[in-house]
Amino acid sequence: MKIHKEGRRILFVTLLILLALNLLVFNFNKGADLVNRLFAGATVIVFLLILQFFRSPFRHLFTHEDLLLAPADGKVVVIENVFEPEYFNDERKQISIFMSPINVHVTRNPISGMVKYFKYHPGNYLVAWHPKSSTQNERTTVVVESDSGPLVLFRQIAGAMARRIVWYVNEGDEVTQGEEFGFIKFGSRVDVFVPMDTEIKVELGQKVKGGATVICQLKVK
């Protein structure tokens, strides 16, 4: 287990603030040992909660041309046929994974290939499970031409708590299945759009692990 690079500065600043608050409380409440201990305990819990959010566990990754891996840890909240208007302008199968604040928030490439399209969209901060969050929230859209041929679109979506999306890919990049393509801070969602003939390997409500759980199998011609 290691701490993700996106959290190191936040954790350092948080630690300094909490230490300063403890010094102030202890200074103004001299003799109130119980109050001071309770406050110190509460700040330790706050720090540990933030610390666990930025954990980055080691994953045994594997690659396969026609299998898509979950792009993030979380729960499958959507499996449905939808019209995808941003890039494909046709019907696709959508799989959505909701990431709660206690999930690992690293986002990973679901498949290997070349990035054909990338775009960042500023937007709102609706709760991540809201149907309109996919098109109205702050988000990124990535389209990868997989090594097996089919195009796969995946989208980072900020939620009500997430206020910053980080990405590490650009158009023209070669990406490897399971490697990090970004990070979303404090609660979010990832959508995946695949061709209609794709075989879905997960169910609604199923918990998945990024870079480890197979979510679907592409049909290779």
Residues marked active site are found at: 188
Coil, helix or strand at residue 92: strand
Coil, helix or strand at residue 110: coil
CA–CA dist 41, 54 (Å, integer): 21
Q: What per-residue string of b and e applies to 22-52 under the rule 16 or more CB within 10 Å gives b?
A: beebbeeeeeeeeebeebeeebeeebeebee
| Tokens 């102030």 found at | 24
